[in-house]
Amino acid sequence: MALPVETFFLHPEAHGTLQSQIQQMIAQGILSGRFQRGEKLPSTRKLATHLGVSRITVTIAYTELLANDYLTSRGRSGYFVSDNAPVPPAFAPREVGPDAVDWTRAIGQRFSGGDTVRKPPDWGGYRYPFIYGQADPALFDHANWRLCALKALGQKDFTALTTDYYDQDDPQLIEFIARHTLPRRGITARPEQILITLGAQNALWLTTQVLLTQRRRAALEDPCYHALRDILSQSRCHMTPVRVDADGMPPDAIPPDTDVIFTTPSHQCPTTNTMPMHRRHDLLERAADMDALIVEDDYEFEMSFLRSPSPALKSLDTDGRVIYVGSFSKSLFPGLRLGYLVGSEPFIREARALRASVLRHPPGHVQRTAAYFLSLGHHDALIRRMGNALHERREVMARALSHHGLQIAGQGAHGGSSFWMRAPEAVDTQELARRLQAKGVLIESGHAFFSGSARPKSYYRLAYSSIPANRIGKGIDLLADEIRSMAHLGISEPANWP
């Protein structure tokens, strides 16, 4: 039987080149059973005319399908579905009715309902995206990343790509971090003291699982990274939020029965404040007095374009008391999912065993690509370029904020990629964010960063990591207008607004 050319169509919203679309359409026709073994395909000329593409495009697609044994060619008679082509299963999928399972009972532990705020997935389509922590295509060194990824896909790296590392990591990445990244933070660590994680999120999660139980107490900054609070809540440990001041977490306010202190000394998240050296020493002393551990999330140290970063807390730690969390999400991109933990061996050993149980290891190709990008110096070059761009954006934004008299509640002494802002008391920033979104302006309400039920409503975060300098002014204009109009009407509850 000849397959009628009419049954071939390209999906108008399909991705990829025309050639790969054709290839895909035919492969899927075979896999789904629509095209069967021995059936004749339209000639390349006929299909090309029908689809409105060039004949060579169809010919290349057919040739690929020949190579994969989906099709065979019988000389001048044309192309046929190969006798070796895969056969779809004989059993048809069945439609299923409503579940007979009582899921309320069946689910043993619930994890949904956390605080983590999501950006709109299409944030790139907004004109004024003051959103935090996303890669800016205008700044990222895509070309060299591509080259490094390609290198890591080479025949020589086949093992690094495909192997099951079990609980281990790519030795090249570990070595680079140990020899070059950590020394720049003043940290010395042996490979056994380093564990690669699926981003800083995964590092914080592993740490929490190893160190905390329902009987132990964690002190966390308030406000803080909301995902950390979700992680701690899920561990069911006791939690004490410690209100931060302009110098970060005040050591005296940490309860004496604390087991683990979570802190972000380089740039406090979200206020961006930097903890001064004297307080770092005080914090270490306080922790030693209580025999508590400290988890240092050094998530944005690379963005220190105003002055050199302070040494990490971990570099001042002679007790082995500090567990250090590093991340490539900010300096490379969050979709990479790559971070690392540095700590004493007994701790890393347990974190490694847990990681192995949960997911084995981060994909080999991702690790090797990062290893190349780092060791060829591209990462450092990128950070300098990003630093220059962020510096410019920050100055533009600072001028615009000052022009409108908007209140800055926190700004990193070393740089960073955002301002922590405070609106007039009457303004609920969740409502503010909703209204601005309709105008193409994305800001982050500060609610989710705070602990407890009486969360301050007037804070918000303005990042400049994903918005070009020349749009900042106009975006801040729109923001300022909206704040003025809301403050003027005394709106704090969205329900009051018609």
Per CB under 8 A, contacts with its own copies among 201-240 are: 201-202, 205, 209-213, 216, 227, 230-231, 234
Collapsed DSSP state (helix, strand, coil) of residue 81: strand
The first and second tokens of residue 343, run together, are: 């700590």
Considering only residues 244 to 263 of the shown chain, the ones binding its own copies according to CB under 8 A are 259
Q: How far is the CB of 428 from its own copies (least distance, A)?
A: 24
Contacts with its own copies by CB under 8 A: the residue count is 147
Considering only residues 379 to 418 of the shown chain, the ones binding its own copies according to CB under 8 A are 380-381, 383-384
Q: If binding is defined by CB under 8 A, does position 59 make contact with its own copies?
A: no
Q: Which of residues 330 and 435 has its CB atom nearest to its own copies in the complex?
A: 330
Q: Which of residues 125 and 498 has its CB atom nearest to its own copies in the complex?
A: 125
The first and second tokens of residue 121, run together, are: 């997935």
Q: Which of residues 368 and 457 has its CB atom nearest to its own copies in the complex?
A: 368
Q: How far is the CB of 210 from its own copies (least distance, A)?
A: 6
Q: Is the peptide bond before 251 cis (omega within 30 degrees of 0)?
A: no
Q: If binding is defined by CB under 8 A, does position 495 make contact with its own copies?
A: no
CB neighbour list of residue 390: distance below 8 Å, 6 or more residues apart: 303, 305, 415, 417, 464, 465
Q: If binding is defined by CB under 8 A, does position 317 make contact with its own copies?
A: yes
CA 431 to chain centre: 26
Rounded to whole angstroms, the Cα distance separating 185 from 167 reads 26
Q: If binding is defined by CB under 8 A, does position 134 make contact with its own copies?
A: yes
Q: If binding is defined by CB under 8 A, does position 6 make contact with its own copies?
A: no
Considering only residues 77 to 116 of the shown chain, the ones binding its own copies according to CB under 8 A are 84, 86-104, 106-114, 116
Stretch that binds its own copies, among 4-12, 247-255, 311-319, 439-447 (CB under 8 A): 311-319
E-assigned strands of 311-417? Answer: 322-327, 339-342, 407-411
Stretch that binds its own copies, among 373-381, 428-436, 468-476, 479-487 (CB under 8 A): 373-381
Rounded to whole angstroms, the Cα distance separating 217 from 257 reads 7
The b/e string for 194-221 (b: 16+ C-beta within 10 A; e otherwise) is: bbbbbbbbbbbbbbbbbbbeeeebbbbb
Rounded to whole angstroms, the Cα distance separating 431 from 405 reads 20
Q: Strands 441-442 and 128-129, how do they pair?
A: parallel
Task: Among 34, 127, 142, 488, indicate the residue that binds its own copies (CB under 8 A).
Answer: 142
Q: Which of residues 182 and 325 has its CB atom nearest to its own copies in the complex?
A: 182
Q: If binding is defined by CB under 8 A, does position 365 make contact with its own copies?
A: yes
The kind and range of the H/E element at 358 are helix 345-359
Q: How far is the CB of 24 from its own copies (least distance, A)?
A: 5
Q: What totals of helices (H) and strands (E) does the chain contain, helices first? A: 15, 15
Task: Among 51, 366, 436, 463, indicate the residue that binds its own copies (CB under 8 A).
Answer: 366
Q: Which of residues 253 and 288 has its CB atom nearest to its own copies in the complex?
A: 288
Nearest Cα to Cα of residue 415 among 295, 327, 304, 270? 304
Task: Among 5, 10, 31, 426, indicate the residue that binds its own copies (CB under 8 A).
Answer: 31
Task: Among 329, 411, 445, 465, indicate the residue that binds its own copies (CB under 8 A).
Answer: 329
The b/e string for 138-149 (b: 16+ C-beta within 10 A; e otherwise) is: ebebeebbebbb
Considering only residues 438 to 467 of the shown chain, the ones binding its own copies according to CB under 8 A are none
| Contact pattern from residue 263 through residue 302 relative to its own copies, giving x for each residue in contact according to CB under 8 A and a dash for the rest | -------------------------x--x-x---------
The first and second tokens of residue 329, run together, are: 């999400």
Residue pair 119/465 in contact (Cβ under 8 Å)? The answer is no
Terminal C-alpha separation, the chain: 65
Q: If binding is defined by CB under 8 A, does position 13 make contact with its own copies?
A: no
Q: How far is the CB of 485 from its own copies (least distance, A)?
A: 31
